[in-house]
Structure 1
């Protein structure tokens, strides 16, 4: 059989083709032309099957085998090895070219030559200009050797032995930059000096590679002392201080040559996070972190035999002096400038321009920025005037020392845009360095209660009786009643230890009843409550989900709480308060942060909370200062008061449809180290009786400001059928029977163990002011712990309410 015939036979698949040149074999009959016996048919079918298998039927099997074969041929170990070696040679060659073509710059980078930053109000008018360079270089020989060692111990223990670079850390940094994972640290002192002085803080692969090359060259050409001197003379230490001489004066009022080891260790520790670690402005967490860093520095010095262990053990943390703000930053200007700088630095990190907050602040402080704030000049002036007229004009520290311990902070936000339109940081930036509007070290107290209700409504939570929680749900308001359903025992006391008996959620919010919201938090689940709090804008990362958090015992700032309530006002769409409208310099145009986020709780839940909070203003703890204010003119308002344990803080956060404002008063000792203290008795209120409540001065400041800047009366657009804004207040009967005088002793009524009741209140709904309560005094706030309050019933003629 010829080749053509054999090929045709294989294609027909009917039989095995006969081998060529083998005449002894008989060709199989063609089934198309000759009949087959049964045996012959079976033999023919088997032969056809084998032929089909050899042909690769189905065709995909042969293709897969071929593909695998090509892959194996492509990825042989020889080819992989040669590819790796080729890439290695290429990288080495590229690095050699980069090394040869990248010189050590002759002069400092443009960022190292400080220029002015210009700050403007939202309308473009001038707010401030800064930029005077606070830097004075000193010779390394003038800095005590042990102080020099503190910086090496803090940043780069191998500084005196290494080649100027950390290849592992740099490689990690380059890869993270390429993959967009941010900074991971690992730079040597030499690399940090090169970045600060010769290059920029930008987070780019090109800058990192240049930093590596210049660092290698600099280490070969210059001494370690030259590099160390450059590093400590160009680093930013906070408080506007560049270099160790300026830092020594800013923090300890001494020249660099007079620094001791504990002071040097603190300055060295600062370099990791100068804003967070500045003792004067640091939160409690920040102070703990900088002390840990300080200890780390000293321990490393002992490890390197630079410090005797006995001497190190005897050292005490050197608390820095109070800061002296720069000229031109008086009044509210310094607070606004600092807050803008910090926000800009965070944006630079978020957008990948800088590796970390420290580098970003260095970029900002280097100057050349044109920064426009969202702050509206008219509203800013109105807020300052309101605080002065309603509070600070009544404080006299010479007559009453406690008056010197009262600090005020406030933030006003547009809920539709997130713009911070006004901010009050304190009496004067040059007199009180800490910004009271952004500090997070005081408890928000009962202003946290709306967050619990929001979580309950959004999650569809139910009571222990399996009844859905809403504005009309009835809870047991007995003081010190143990919560049910918690693994942790908790029985909070209501203010003045008042027993309210069965009350609706609406009434509990109006009266700020601790026992109700403690139980509600457990009913919802404290983990879910804190999740909602975080979604609304609070910092809950390190909070424990325990029932005590229902009383607002965590720390929060007026800025944070304004964001939480702005989100409620914005129908559940997250609002992040934003101070900066735009910022740009010669190299960067920073995008304005997206202040309006996603829907974090349902609109119905947010609107229901708003509806309930209108009752606090019209029938609850804020009615004296807000409801009856002659400037209100029918304006709809929702809000909540709050007063923390021992009267260390007092809050009022409230909103109209167009403006959200938080006002906080904080008891801070005028004497260093400025611990938290009570405000009771301030402004002449009777000691032990003159408690400053959220419904007093904070609400008065809020009302004078808000009603003064409002141009029109507006109404809430609410999608809910619950709460005081859309239905009458339902007031359940109090327990025990109301008395004519406040009880001098705690109630002896047996606390109910039942957390809620599901029956409908029998009282006829009413919108009248709830005058028939357990006492003749409506409690305005509760302490956040179970300690009895010493406050007597509020007097309408009390100075904190105005006369």
Structure 2
């Protein structure tokens, strides 16, 4: 065989081998390619589409427009105390149907502009929004917006608020049929008459009365735009109780509605530019919720709505409102009936009985709020929201528009201990560290003045004093410098860990004076976490909630360790000094009901006497009491409380501490002692030490104070509340070298001392 023939033979053999290799080794790949051809894939997709269309056609034929059942579904919610006894029931539904012809055309268009601009031209369904909602429901993410007015009406009137695929499919089918069989005016009237607007109002007529005391036919465009905007989040957007954020959001929504009306040529641009936001009138409460009941019911409802959103049962605030307001819930609160009545009685006997608006006009402007929490469980066992829910709709226990003042100072000390912070010349910040307590002393940061020089109460100068004494006397200049020494970012971070809402606040020295807004509930959270040895304790009013076969799971109110036990216990130890030898001596230390009970607490009085506080706790109970100066005439601006109750100044050591003591000692079943892991503060005998005088601008001393708790009997002099004086302290730190780091276990002896100035302040705002 010639070479050419051999080569051709090898090539033929190679081709056969290659062919054989492909057929044996590539058989699986070939079968896959033959199985998944583009024609087969396209055919499968087409088949699935036909199957889906067929299924939808069957649903369309099977599902009819049902009888309206929204009114039939409406039931009362039942509210119970923690022991299971009935607290309240919801009243009848506040609904009055009104003909669409009686609603001004611009108001009708405001609702369309707010919710569904294509309402007059669409087929009743938003396919894209519906598909998104179905996908999120299947994936467990809850629903999202995008429904048309027709779909929302169908959900409100014909179906339920449950988030299921079957309910969503029914909604689509009924919406399509309704749009074919009824006029747009019929659907719009149904939507406006069945929607929930907040304040217990269903339908535009009830809403017009609830917010503007007018009938629907008399609504202006501006008012109609507000009611239309309100539907997105009724509870959040109610002007009377909205936070600053809520007010901003509803104003933005109101502008959005009017701008859409201009875009649709339903409103003249010139007329639009001259419109002002129509502030609603104060609400009128449900007669069945008089006294404290309305505050408790609304707080429980708010907690339930938040939980429904958190667990994905409701997609947003609007759906959560609808689910709760629809009724049928059995809601048990953590409120202890005995403690609740005791708190109400304490406010009455220690405050309201002493106010006489006829004799002193300012007495009509004093509002009280209080929250009492079990620090071991986080349960809100009592709450005082105001004199009467029907007379004062705003819940003073949860309002966040007043400064917490000096009740914030323990947070600064907690941050200092937690961060093992040092003064600017390198000495640890402890209970015995000496600071310069000179009033209006410029705060410094590494030798640089930061432009902040707070004044002490009555401009009193204290000279060199320990942190313990500065807390007892609530000396602004000391804690302003301490905040900068620790680092304001760390201070605000610690405040957040303790449970305060400080996310949007600037970390500036002015915050050391408690110049932010906070509620009694916020401060109860912070102090409960301190009382619980640094474990995050979130005050919780909701114990359980059940609806038919659904039970809402309430998360554990006690969380992880957010600051060390040493830091929390050190603050508690120091705060016992405020009670036993500071600004709360009068109402708390010398109270005949105290019976040796250990107490930690802090007073506070804010800018121009617009608020006064006492936040205090025993090992078993944390209670914060706030008094707020609020003009009793709309729009209820903040006012000063000088002269209220016949007092020159309303201090935290006065009415608030008196309310606290009457309540706490009245419900106390036995005396108890703090179990503290610390060798600092007033609850232990401090070791002998020396400390060099502090420099004017910094706090150089790390040595403990030489103050020894006295064991003499409490003074029998009549205390004067939170006394103020311009005299500086006469205590001078010793220069004797320390003898050693000794300490003794906590003592429950009641020390007494010279009159000390009230630790509150003329506030420095940012």
| Bucket of the pairwise TM-score, normalised by the shorter protein | 0.7 to 0.9
C-alpha displacement of 1:550: 1.7
Counting only pairs closer than 5 Å after superposition, residues 643-654 of structure 1 correspond to structure 2 as: 643-654=605-616
Please point out which of 743, 746, 756 is paired with 2:699: 756
CA contact (8 A) 2:340 2:383 kept: yes
Q: Residue 679 of structure 2 corresponds to which residue in structure 1?
A: 721
Sort the Cα spacing of 1:79 and 1:456 in 2 relative to 1 into closer, same or farther, 3 A: farther
Q: 2:18 matched to which residue of 1? A: none
Equivalence for 2:749? none
Instruction: Tell me: CA distance 1:762–1:165, structure 2 relative to 1, closer, same or farther (3 Å).
Output: closer
Partner of residue 103 from structure 1, selected from 49, 64, 73: 64
Identify if the C-alpha distance between structure 1 residues 163 and 664 changes in structure 2 by more than 3 Å, giving closer, same or farther: same
Structure 2 distance, partners of 1:301, 1:598, is: 50
1:251, CA displacement in angstroms?
1.3
Per-residue deviation, 1:432 = 0.9
**3-state SS in 2 of match to 1:757:** coil
2:559 alignment partner, SS class: strand
Matched, 1:670 2:614: no
- Tell me, yes or no, if structure 1 residue 518 matches structure 2 residue 499: no
Please give the per-residue CA displacement for 1:727-750, whole angstroms capped at 9, x wherever unaligned.
3499999999xxxxxxxxxxxxxx
Q: 1:217 to 1:684 in 2, by over 3 A?
A: same
CA offsets, 1:408-463, max 9 Å, x none?
Answer: 01111111111111111111111111111111111111111112222222233333
- CA distance 1:681–1:734, shift in 2 (3 Å): farther
Q: Name the SS of the counterpart of 1:328 in structure 2.
A: helix
Q: Which residue pairs with 1:238 in the alignment?
A: 198
CA deviation after TM superposition for structure 1 residue 93, in Å = 4.3
Shift of 1:781: 3.2
Report if the CA contact (8 A) 1:203-1:354 is conserved: yes
User: Are 2:95 and 2:202, in contact at CA under 8 Å, matched by a contact in 1?
Assistant: yes
Equivalent of 1:270 in 210, 218, 230: 230
Q: Aligned residue for 1:782?
A: 760
- In the alignment, which residue of structure 1 is the partner of 2:595? 633
Matched, 1:113 2:56: no
User: SS of 1:783's equivalent?
Assistant: coil
Partner of 2:737: none
Q: Secondary structure of the residue that 1:618 maps to in structure 2?
A: helix
Deviations 1:323-367 (A, max 9, x none): 221222211111111112211222222222222222222222222
2:661 equivalent to 1:703: yes
Mark the CA change 1:601 to 1:258 in structure 2 (over 3 Å): closer, same or farther. Answer: same
Corresponding position of 2:3:
none
1:171 — aligned with what?
A: 131
1:624-681 CA deviation, whole Å, 9 max, x = no partner?
Answer: 1111111101101111111110111111111111111110000000110001111111
What is the alpha-carbon distance in structure 1 between the residues aligned to residue 306 and residue 704 of structure 2? 51
- The corresponding residue for 2:650 is 692
1:721 alignment partner, SS class: coil
2-structure distance, mates of 1:636, 1:761:
22
Distance in 1 of aligned mates of 2:704 and 2:83: 54
Alignment correspondent of 1:347? 307
1:596 Cα deviation after fit: 1.5
Find the counterpart in structure 2 of residue 421 from structure 1.
Answer: 381
Q: Is the 8 A contact 1:203 1:352 kept in 2?
A: no
Deviation at 1:88, TM superposition (A): 4.3
Q: Distance in 1 between matches of 2:506 and 2:48?
A: 51
Gapped regions of structure 2 (runs ≥ 5):
1-6, 11-20, 715-722, 731-753
Q: Which stretch shows the higher mean deviation, 657-666 or 566-575?
A: 566-575
Which deviates the most, 588-597 or 561-570? 588-597
Q: Which blocks of at least 5 consecutive residues in structure 1 are unaligned? A: 1-18, 23-55, 57-61, 737-750, 788-803
SS of corresponding position for 1:297: helix
**TM-score relative to the length of structure 2:** 0.86
When normalised by structure 1's length, the TM-score is 0.83
Q: State the secondary structure of the residue aligned to 1:127.
A: strand
Indicate the SS of the match to 2:417.
helix
Match for residue 491 of structure 1 among 419, 429, 453: 453
Structure 1 residues 121 and 73, CA, compared in 2 at 3 Å: closer, same or farther? same
Is 1:482 aligned with 2:443? yes
- TM-superposed CA distance for 1:579, in Å, is 1.4
Secondary structure of 2:616 counterpart: strand
The answer to whether the 8 Å contact 2:433/2:704 transfers is no
What is the CA–CA distance in structure 2 between the aligned matches of 1:394 and 1:543, rounded to whole Å? 37
Shift of residue 499, structure 1, vs aligned partner: 2.6
**C-alpha displacement at 1:697, in angstroms?**
0.5
In the TM superposition, 1:106-255 aligns within 5 A as: 106-109=67-70, 113-255=73-215
> What is the CA–CA distance in structure 2 between the aligned matches of 1:667 and 1:731, rounded to whole Å?
45
Superposed displacement of residue 593, structure 1:
3.3
- Cα pair 1:131 1:367 within 8 Å, conserved: no
Residues 360-386 of structure 1: CA distance to partner in whole angstroms, max 9, x if unpaired?
222222222222221111111111110
Assess, with a 3 A threshold, how the Cα gap between structure 1 residues 407 and 75 changes in structure 2: closer, same or farther: farther
Query: Which residue pairs with 2:742 in the alignment?
Result: none
Q: Between Structure 1 and Structure 2, whose CA radius of gyration is higher? A: 1
Cα separation, 2, equivalents of 1:552 and 1:668: 19
CA RMSD of aligned residues (A): 3.1
**Closer, same or farther in 2 for the Cα pair 1:778/1:72, shift >3 Å?**
farther
